Structure 1
Amino acid sequence: MIQRLLESGIFSEERKFKRNEYLKISGSIDTNIYFIEDGSIRIFIMDENEERIVRFGYKGNILVSLDSFLSEKPSEFYIQAIKKTDIKIASKADFYQFIQSSEENLKFWTFILEDLILQQIEREKDLLIYSPKERFERVLKRSPKLFQEIPNKYIANYLRMSPETLSRLKKS
């Protein structure tokens, strides 16, 4: 289905981001949809002076600042390239035109939203009820590619543990 989206022509812009370059900063409105052709991205929020990573994206993923996309209001999230990243960009208007053009495309959007909700529920369960070892095992089972695409320091932050703890868990 992502292929159908790519072939629809709604991704009218392509951009290259350098390592650590921002696609979006806190306080900005972002109603774009991004398709990652190559590279990796992190979405995070600042908690006092600490970054809290909430999501990653890498080659083949679609990424969006969902709160800003849906509300068209500023979001506190940052979206940053972890390494050199090539992205295709679609506007909200073009995307909505696409999803409203057929029943199948509307079902695709519903599927994306349902999947995001389920991912968020799993993420909340990880953070609320599991030990570091269990969080690591759950995320490894759910997203083994994450450990190939994303540096350990970011994964540790995402899992709410020290890089040393993550390293120990990976070895065991």
Structure 2
Amino acid sequence: MEEIRKQFEKNVSITDADWQLFASKLKRMEYPKKSVILKKGNIETSLSFIEKGIVRFYIPKIDNDLTFSFSFANSFVSAYDSFLTQTLSTYNVETITATVLWRLTYNDLQEIYQTTQIGNTIGRIAGEDLFLKKSKREISLLKNTAEERYLSLFLDRPELIKQIPLKYIASYIGITPQALSRIRKRIS
């Protein structure tokens, strides 16, 4: 839980009273590998912080799922569009590895906004983190080749990328697993 405070305090200091209220609302949840933590058609009720593990976002398909995002330890994770609007999610959120999340419900976050001096800043920091990840991905899809997207993911998280099945990586960078194999052969 202290890692969450460190993330916030990179941008703003938090009083002990505000932190105590915020921390009292967090619920630690452990998920085994391959756990669907949000299923398409359900409403996202939590904003979470990943203590450990890897989470993927995907659109389920009959043949092959379409992976469009990953989240790693020490970052926020949420089907944020569903969370903000409290509407049905159009995709699944699943753990790739055993994962530990610190979860904050939508209603608890609204209470934190209302009762703490720092609540809105905490929400903004989490929202900005999620937005920047999404924006980086969209720009990468528009401007980089599949090989550049793979290298970027590999350089950003070399120790973790080995834990992600190649079919998910291929889907994420927008190519087939066979094309990813050719790219990996070329760069090794």
Report if TM-score (shorter chain) is over 0.5.
yes
What percentage of residue pairs aligned between the two structures are identical? 26
In the TM superposition, residue 89 of structure 1 has moved relative to its aligned partner by 2.0
Equivalent position of 2:175 in the other structure: 161
Paired residues for 1:13-162 under 5 Å: 14-46=28-60, 49-144=63-158, 146-162=160-176
1:10 to 25, 34, 43: 25
What are the Cα deviations for residues 39-74 of structure 1, in whole angstroms up to 9, with x where unaligned? 221111135643111221232222111111011111
> What displacement does 1:170 show?
3.9
The one-letter code of the counterpart of 2:5 is Q
| TM-score (norm. length: structure 2) | 0.74
Which has more strand, going by share of residues? 1
Gaps of 5+ in 2: 9-18
Instruction: Compare the two structures and name the one with the higher helix fraction.
Output: 2
Question: How high is the TM-score relative to the length of structure 1?
Answer: 0.80
Cα distance change on mapping 1:18 and 1:96 into 2, 3 Å: same
Could you tell me which runs of 5 or more consecutive residues in structure 1 were left unpaired when the two chains were aligned.
Answer: none
In the alignment, is the contact (CA less than 8 A) between 2:55 and 2:70 conserved in 1?
yes
TM-aligned CA distance change 1:141 to 1:105, over 3 Å: farther
Q: CA RMSD in A?
A: 2.7
Query: Match for 1:2: what amino acid?
Result: I
Asked if the contact 2:52–2:74 (Cα under 8 Å) also holds between the matched residues in 1, the reply is yes
Alpha carbons of structure 1 residues 120 and 35: separation in structure 2 relative to 1, 3 Å: closer
- Note if contact 2:35-2:94 (Cα within 8 Å) is conserved in structure 1: yes
In structure 2, the CA distance between the partners of 1:49 and 1:121, relative to structure 1 (3 Å rule), is: same
Which has more radius of gyration? Answer: 2
Rounded to whole Å, the distance in 1 between the matches of 2:173 and 2:5 is: 31
